[in-house]
Amino acid sequence: MIKPLLHDDPSHIGSYRLAARLGSGGMGTVYLARTPGGATVALKTVHAHIAADASFRTRFRLEADAARVIGGVHGAQVVDADPLAQVPWLATEYVLGPPLDDAVAVSGPLPEAAVRAVGAALCGALGQLHRSDVVHRDLKPSNVMITGYGPKVIDFGIARALGDDRLTQVGAAAGTPAFMSPEQAGGQEHTPAGDVFALAGVLVFAATGHGPFGSGQPADLLYRVRYADPDLSGVPAALAPVLARALSKDPALRPDTGELAAALHDGHGEFADHLPHPLLSEISRRAAEVWQVCPPRLPAPEEPAVTVTSAPAPRRAGPSRRGFLVLAGAAGAGAVAGGGLWLWSGRSAPKSAAKNPPKPGPSGSGAVTSPPGPWDLLWTSGKGKADEAMPPLFVDKGIVVKTGGQLRGIDPADGSELWMFFPTFFEGRPVTDGSSLYWIGGATSDDFVVATVDTDTGRQDRTLTALSALKAPKGASAELLCATADTVYLTAGDDSAETFDRHLYAVNARTGKLRWRTALRDRKDGYGYTGAFGKVIGDRIVVGQTSNDLILSAFDTGSGKEQWRTSLTSAADNFSTPASTGAQLAHDGTHLYLGSTVLMSVGLSNGTVVWEFGRDRDFGGVVNGDDRYGPPAVKDGVVYAAEGGRGIVAVETERGELLWDTAVPDGSATTAAAPPVVSGKYLYYADQSGLGAIELSSHAYVRSLESSIRNFVLMPGKDVLVGNGTWREVDALRLGG
């Protein structure tokens, strides 16, 4: 994903002009860069504190050498490198396609023909490495890029020559636990047979959406890798025995890359012909994205406030999830550090683990633990289950999440996957009235329909209406806003700046008949349109349209007549919006509460801004675009919101006066990902590391839970928070107090 440069990112590295960020981790940062002639490259740098370590400089040089060995057919062609620079860097071709984990998230598990084609091509890539006496040692879905011409293997941060153990610590296991070989998990020599084992695991993931040994804690994963049978549920019958042999615990029983390639594919046909259409569309989108105007560099954060109302408690001691950990177990392991180095303690497995090894599975990871705090981690699903951007939906008795163009049903009891829904095309987001699930899709954009999904089976249930029946323009884009028991609300039309012509539709949820249709706003206001959100409050639906400003409108739900319209200058832009969905709109029945450049109260009866808070406050760093305040929550006369990255503010609803504020500890930050949740004695907020908690009575920071959670919501009628985030997992936590 292309992201803005930070204020302190350099403008050039070597002769390359930096245009945007592609990602950043524990080892370094990857930039989108341009050559002097305008060509696009991916430029990888190493963090300065790591570059000071001579062994990591050597590892970085070896990474460049391994990337050159695999070449441009099977990998990202090396364009340039300087491992001796003060900040070492490596420039490679910019691969036009998604990593395999994103590809599966977009298109769902790949069809058998695609899995075989990907596998055979990857055999060719590994074979080329092995013939040069190099092993990859960290093959996993995120290190396999899918292009229209074949897969490419990337990230050789821990690749090395056979027999070369100069960079391997005693008792250290390098790699990613879910895709390690048994010998690698035990800290033994990783040979080409270990790469074959990892490749088979990658292909299981491609075919099913889950790894062969499930998910969960590193020590559990490594134990399953060494002692448990692989989970091949969902693998096509003809493919299962081929992958089972490659997943043999004994390296001598595994085929080499040549044998495996022959068993997978006959070599006929173009690679792209084997890929599903949604994946081809995603490859095309990414190819076009690189030539779009890059986002502007983010400004430097303002100085943080000198004083705070409440002194924060110190953060929980211990290493970060992103740092090195040492865990006891059959092959105790630590968390990933950049290139995937895991430290193994070498201690024996606990007796309980030896007697009752965890069962592998594609979804819920079974028994899980969380650090002390006002929560109890009930379950966590496998990776790749849910997009970070959309919070979970609660439909009937289940949970529904969105992954790329698919929907997944999640069992709220244990986090296991109940079903997947694969529409051909998927427009916008699904919505629910609590019992029915609605989506927009069709064979092509000209044939879009509003339909329901059976949440027991994951199949399309009934077509409510077609956009053509609503007299929406042919080829119009459309998005669902919200649904009630009797009406589904959506927008559709032309959203281009020159010919903006978009309408709000109310459709009878039982008959599919059009209740009413009304224009959203004038064409002249169309510049910069990025979408809409809506929520029914009493007898009106409030609709927000985001562009360079926020246009907030209210319509009578019975007639569609516009009651009021308010333009809130600088309340939204292309990088920030006061709410990602209508469900995030906070209200108390008489006023709306919004957060963006300021925290504000808007009258529901007339759209008048009643008060603003925070225009002149020192809000600390900016988290998303120009958001000073995240989407707020309101309860018992108090509005709660994240203030930049510095902490939480509590403001009274009547006049917008500050009641209290609490700063988060150094090294952490509040985010605008989700509204805070008030439950019992605590307020829970989106924290940079996952989830944070503040005690309401003392206004004191309590603790942060390190988790992938970024977007979350409270389960109706229960003190259970369900969220998803950066690792595309879904987590459920019972809130305490």
Higher pLDDT, 110 or 138: 110
Q: What is the pLDDT of residue 406?
A: 79
Q: What is the pLDDT of residue 486?
A: 96
- Answer for the pair 645, 621: CB distance below 8 angstroms, yes or no: yes
Does residue 326 carry a pLDDT above 50?
no
Nearest to 272 by CA among 458, 18, 97, 52: 97
Average pLDDT over residues 707-724: 89
Does residue 608 carry a pLDDT above 80?
yes
Average pLDDT over residues 94-104: 91
Q: What is the pLDDT of residue 363?
A: 37
For residue 561 the two structure tokens come to: 């007549």
Any residues with CB less than 8 A from the CB of 315 and at least 6 apart, and which?
665, 667, 668, 704
- Answer for the pair 505, 514: CB distance below 8 angstroms, yes or no: yes
pLDDT level of residue 196 (50, 70, 90 thresholds) = very high
Average pLDDT over residues 458-481: 87
pLDDT level of residue 642 (50, 70, 90 thresholds) = very high
The fold of the 100-280 domain, in CATH, is Transferase(Phosphotransferase); domain 1 (1.10.510)
Does residue 390 carry a pLDDT above 50?
yes
pLDDT-above-90 percentage for the chain: 41
Q: What is the pLDDT of residue 388?
A: 66
pLDDT-above-70 percentage for the chain: 77
Does residue 106 carry a pLDDT above 90?
no
Does residue 669 carry a pLDDT above 70?
yes
Does residue 47 carry a pLDDT above 80?
no
Average pLDDT over residues 577-584: 74
In a 10 Å sphere around its CB, with 0-12 CB exposed, 13-18 middle and 19+ buried, how is residue 369 labelled? Answer: exposed
pLDDT level of residue 736 (50, 70, 90 thresholds) = confident
Nearest to 369 by CA among 361, 378, 357, 382: 378
Q: What is the pLDDT of residue 199?
A: 96
Q: Is the dihedral of CA 552, 555, 560, 563 positive or negative?
A: negative
Q: What is the pLDDT of residue 489?
A: 97
Average pLDDT over residues 374-385: 85
Higher pLDDT, 467 or 335: 467
Does residue 681 carry a pLDDT above 90?
yes
Q: Give the least confident one: 102-106, 216-220, 493-497, 527-531.
A: 527-531
Q: Give the least confident one: 75-84, 219-228, 494-503.
A: 494-503
- pLDDT tens per residue, range 441-451: 876 656 789 99
pLDDT level of residue 719 (50, 70, 90 thresholds) = very high
Report how far residue 287's alpha carbon sits from residue 38's, in angstroms, rounded to the nearest whole number.
15
Q: What is the pLDDT of residue 446?
A: 66
Does residue 110 carry a pLDDT above 70?
yes
Report how far residue 408's alpha carbon sits from residue 489's, in angstroms, rounded to the nearest whole number.
23
Average pLDDT over residues 704-708: 84
pLDDT level of residue 114 (50, 70, 90 thresholds) = very high
Report how far residue 147's alpha carbon sits from residue 280's, in angstroms, rounded to the nearest whole number.
9
Could you tell me the residue ranges of all domains in the chain? 12-94, 100-280
Average pLDDT over residues 270-285: 89
Question: Which of the residue ranges 351-360, 366-375, 380-389, 510-519 has the most confident prediction, judged by mean pLDDT?
Answer: 510-519
- pLDDT tens per residue, range 489-506: 999 887 665 667 789 999
What average pLDDT does the structure give for the chain?
80
Does residue 46 carry a pLDDT above 70?
yes
Q: What is the pLDDT of residue 427?
A: 63
- Answer for the pair 637, 613: CB distance below 8 angstroms, yes or no: no
Q: What is the pLDDT of residue 84?
A: 77
Average pLDDT over residues 67-76: 77
**Length of the chain (residues):** 737
Does residue 59 carry a pLDDT above 50?
yes
Does residue 79 carry a pLDDT above 50?
yes
Q: Give the least confident one: 66-70, 161-165, 390-394, 418-422.
A: 161-165
Q: What is the pLDDT of residue 676?
A: 96
Average pLDDT over residues 424-437: 82
- pLDDT tens per residue, range 137-153: 889 998 899 999 899 98
Does residue 574 carry a pLDDT above 90?
no
Q: What is the pLDDT of residue 616?
A: 80
Q: What is the pLDDT of residue 424?
A: 59
Q: What CATH code is assigned to 12-94? A: 3.30.200.20
Does residue 239 carry a pLDDT above 90?
yes
DSSP codes joined into one string, 521-571: S-GGG-TT--EEEEEEETTEEEEEEESSSEEEEEEETTT--EEEEEEETTS
Q: What is the pLDDT of residue 63?
A: 64
**CA 395 → CA 17, 385, 400, 408, 454, distances in Å?**
48, 17, 7, 12, 10
Amino acid identity, position 596: S
- Answer for the pair 630, 686: CB distance below 8 angstroms, yes or no: yes
Q: What is the pLDDT of residue 576?
A: 52
- pLDDT tens per residue, range 533-570: 999 999 999 998 876 678 899 999 999 999 999 888 75
Does residue 433 carry a pLDDT above 80?
yes
Higher pLDDT, 223 or 368: 223
